[in-house]
Amino acid sequence: MNIKGIEINTLNDALFFLENHELEALPEYKKNLFLLNIACFLDRHVWETLPQEQRDGLLTLKNSSSVTLAHMAAEQGTLPESFNRWDLVDNKNKTVAHVAAEHGNIPRDFDWERHGPMLDNKGRTVYHSAAEGGCLPEWFDGWDIADEDGFTVAHFVAYHNNIPGNFDWERYGMMRDGKYGETVYHEAAYSKGLPEWFHGWDIADNNGKTVAHNAALRRALPRDFDWERYGLMRDNEGRTVYHFAGYSKRYIAVKRLKHRGQSILKRIKGMM
């Protein structure tokens, strides 16, 4: 990229630019591109070759949203091994630790007890982000830790299909979020991560949408699903499990519905 007549193609180019120009003087889009370029130039090895003062100065460079170069490097997994500024925040109070965790880039020596409970502006902990990125520590058991909307770490890990093999479904599966009343089973159905023994298809959220609705939408219903028993369950808008299966192009389910005299085939096709 070219900024003020200077070609920025290497880390040295970027460092030369910073020595001679003020980053804050750049238009926002160019500032973002510049920071992204630096993030691409740097890997763990290169970071460690820089003097500590220069390294710290680069890591705290930020755009107008207070997203620092450290946030960008955390997303790419290129933070230096000696990095310890996990509490740097952007304007949404999202820390570098949140970003690293949601992308699965947490180092082995990460201090979970110190940084795991840090909150962003939605009340989500680094544990929530790690549930998304699939990098929760093996000893973690705080599945009921909830954000401001009542979404627990268990909801996050289920939605992103990162549920560990020893997850206690009986204890945590029925936890509901505080916004929609969806259980952890609802989230697991959406991500195709329900346990094989699951049979609570009629468990409904605040809008009457059942686990079966979610599973049907994601084509995650088992072959032995009891359509006769559950297919006609309706949410608060009158949509059956057959409708949701139709939305996911499950034409077999739609044909069964038509055969039962409640055809919605024309409506389904019109929505696709």
pLDDT tens across 13-60, in order?
777 766 667 777 777 777 777 777 777 777 777 777 888 888 888 888
pLDDT tens across 68-117, in order?
999 999 999 989 888 999 999 999 999 999 999 999 999 999 999 999 99
Q: Give residue for tokens 């509901």.
A: 176
133 pLDDT higher than 80: yes
Between residues 263 and 107, the one the model is more confident about:
107
Q: Give residue for tokens 């990095």.
A: 83
Q: In the prediction, which pLDDT does 180 show?
A: 97
Between residues 44 and 234, the one the model is more confident about:
234
- CATH class (in words) of the domain with range 199-272: mainly alpha
Backbone torsions φ then ψ of 25, nearest 5 degrees: -80, -10
Between residues 35 and 189, the one the model is more confident about:
189
pTM score: 0.81
Q: Give residue for tokens 């997203």.
A: 67
Q: In the prediction, which pLDDT does 1 show?
A: 60
Quote the tokens at residue 107: 């180092």
Q: Give residue for tokens 């346990």.
A: 195
The C-alpha torsion from 73 through 76 and 82 to 86, rounded to 10°, is 60
Residues whose CB falls within 8 Å of the CB of residue 198, separated by 6 or more in sequence, listed in order: 169, 185, 211
Integer Cα distance of 157 and 159 in angstroms: 6
257 pLDDT higher than 90: no
